[in-house]
Structure 1
């Protein structure tokens, strides 16, 4: 057998193996979660925010919630088309409390369409991924827990690495001068959304290139590390993802977790901030954001048990998209999952994040009004 023929054979085997593997993952992605059993009878819709993409528990039993005005509007029509945005707070100790929108001191007169957020109970910093329209940034705020709770804007971080509307979630690093941010889409979305490309190039990149990347499951997205003292961002790991989404860390910062559609990457930080990939946590359904429960050590995941319904809704079908909150936990050296609450999507369409306080779960949506508060 000639060298050329052998190389062709090897190439063919690699391509076939890739397509078979991708076909299996696509099948799993589009298959309804077999344990999708709704138990949302004790869930109550609260709040008037639109698109509560992410939420995080801070001190004094306060849940902080980011609002983006609706991710569907944001991505298809742009930031200027949204009618709301900001950061809200819900007092988890008071069952009758409603979410309230927080005032922000020192924030410039520009949009605040929040994607992912992270609250540090170590530094009292709140980090928020913000899609302003012309660009996407990470905003850093200081939380003042006195009455009333206030936020003060500290810094806006922008980088050439950040695709417009393409960065997703954020987590503090070793201290208040460092954070990591994920990239779910390597292609910048047009400033006024996918429906309004400003050039043929933007139209091709968003309507051809990005769908092809997603369909083939190409690993083209990254995690970035930003140094606030230097106002500098850089690639944080050589591990590439199909769509790096939620990110969180454990209590002592020795392990970071990065969501990649239906699995979670375990990352170990080096002294210089570099993240070394260790292994995968495989989960049985699609997940969006993830947060670390300091009380139990579990990972709290916003779930999408029927991903096909998301695609149908994006295609214009008026359909309720189910979702919920699940846990990933380690038992006898193995990672396992457990469903906490599963909602049929009629009260809150599509779930992006979930969090817990005692026997109460809160789940949020990237597109719907309010958050769902559920007694477990």
Structure 2
């Protein structure tokens, strides 16, 4: 079985993630290809698509606001079709993870009854904050705190979407929700019948197209779903297999891009919690093990030669880059050039200053 080294996997990931060369894609097509974008930081998808698309227009993304809890019970921005098509497949995981922190609060509570009550409150079409939704149910369920009630209802029990202005470009607002079906004008797709998992197979195919080659543990880490090995088994005749340097089996789509490991990789600035990092159990293809924690700490990272080599943040009058290793003169120049482009994008053309300490 062919062994793919870390650099080969890195270049494959960059190609699938549209980070090896900016793509000429409509925003909706890019978001669909990426299987949604991590969006608990409302502005993160804008920076993420700036790194991936040529001529990116933030207004196009502002028109594509389907922000909902899905993979790993985190907030993702998705196309309408994916939000509706994938939600039922994630229901059990969302409940399990939603209750993990509040299990004692919900002892003895019928969750289906609670979900029905939450839907009834939201049925009037009036957007509500999580605390407002919980406040209308505390008389009936006085045990859980309002925070617990609100989080479990919105992130686990009731398919809901976070409404604008939250998530608009250079705008903000608190989390206010309405049912996903009301916002999109169509009910969530029903669960597949027992013994069949077409959505699971689609998730695996789509994941490999955007993240492969990858191990089944990587699929699980990205989705949060434990039950996809069955879907993988059904797909095996369609897939090709490799090994990584650690001996893990990696699966992939036969015709998916696997560039030459020596293909140059441009500098790219990624937003907090970008799935190019979080979408794997083994993230060594893109970040050194000693820096793995950056991806879950909300640090914005800089890719140099395809790997995490620094962090960045937007300050009042400049973009600040903090390298994690000594950069060569050519690398510093490339980081500064890409940083200036991002600074112009974030500041609406007001400044292009980059602070890059030695």
Query: Common fold, TM-score beyond 0.5?
Result: no
Report 1 or 2 for greater relative contact order, CA contacts < 8 Å, sequence distance ≥ 6. Answer: 2
The alignment's TM-score, normalised by the length of structure 1, stands at 0.29
Q: Which has the higher helix share?
A: 2
Larger radius of gyration: 2
